[in-house]
Amino acid sequence: MRILIAGGSGYVGRGIIERYCLTNDFINISLSRHADLAVNNALVDLSLPISFLSFDQPIDMIINCVECRATDNSNGDNKRAYLAAVRHLVEYAQDRDIKKFIHFSVNHLNTVENDYQQARFVAEGLVKSGGFDYIVFKPTVIFGENSPLEYLMNSLLSRSILLKFWKEDARIAPVHLLDVIANVGYAIEHNDCWNETYALCGPETMSFEEMLFRRRMIKRPKLLSAPSGLAMRSALKNMPVPSNYLRLLLDWVNADDRRVYARSLVEPRFSYKP
């Protein structure tokens, strides 16, 4: 199968390519200079129309792993660029009569409370009304080797004092990258699962604090309560993780996956382990 993958240089996209590049022909469109050298790469700005893209063979499927950057000081530019990227991918699929489209969203968005969530909801609507067969995957927070979550956790645990920035009663069902990728593989190989939305959760729910302290450590940081704004600023300070990842992660840890119906294509295998 010939697959056009958008955002194949990101954490999920790279994993999909690495797992399935031997059995499928991938073309990765991205602006990243860290694109996978094992596949064909096109450095394309998805905020602009991509009707000029032409390949020697027809595209069978689009997989959209482009991220919506959730920062506080972007004046909406990140969300507009994200929606433009999704719209241009949808238009490209329509123009080239591409039959299948896989789109990645996030799983805990049940109501629209800010422009980031609105961008996610609108993007899902664009895909579902595109006129092609679609799947929307909505994973909870993803863990695995070298994941943004692991960088965040390790940085938090290196501190002597940590202000709580998460909801005490929220429960998360973190999902392993390999389980996410397995669902994509099932969708590539089967035709009986399309035109549906799937919430990808792990097999176990826990609080963020339980996730944090599953690590072995000589000394735990002292946890203190503080106003949410102060705690958030403290958590973000001097992090070795890009701010867009941090905002996404902090949004995740204040979600509650118990409210989400987990309906994955493949049974999750991996419980959360640091």
Is residue 71 situated within a structural domain?
yes
What does the pLDDT read at residue 173? 86
Residue 31: domain span = 2-142+174-201
Number of domains in the chain: 1
Is residue 26 situated within a structural domain?
yes
Is residue 99 situated within a structural domain?
yes
Instruction: Assign residue 61 the CATH number of its domain.
Output: 3.40.50.720
**Helices 228-236 and 243-252 sit at what angle, rounded to 10 degrees?**
140
pLDDT (tens digit, 0 to 9) for every residue of the chain, 274 residues total?
999 999 888 889 999 999 999 899 999 988 765 655 556 777 788 888 999 888 888 999 999 999 876 544 445 677 888 999 999 999 999 999 999 999 999 876 555 566 777 888 899 999 999 999 999 999 988 999 888 888 878 888 888 888 887 777 778 888 999 999 999 999 999 999 999 999 898 888 888 888 888 877 778 888 888 666 666 666 666 665 555 555 656 666 666 665 555 678 999 999 998 8
Is residue 134 situated within a structural domain?
yes
What does the pLDDT read at residue 93? 97
Is residue 58 situated within a structural domain?
yes
What does the pLDDT read at residue 24? 93
Calculate ∠ Cα 89-93-96, nearest 5°. Answer: 130
Is residue 106 situated within a structural domain?
yes
Is residue 271 situated within a structural domain?
no
107 Cβ neighbours under 8 A, 6+ residues apart: 138, 139, 140, 199, 200, 201, 257, 260
Please identify which residue in the block is written with the tokens 């339980």: 210
pTM of the model: 0.88
Question: Count of residues for the chain?
Answer: 274
What does the pLDDT read at residue 72? 47
What does the pLDDT read at residue 256? 62
Beta bridge partners of 138: 199
Is residue 178 situated within a structural domain?
yes
160 Cβ neighbours under 8 A, 6+ residues apart: 221, 222
Distance CA 83, CA 123 (A): 6
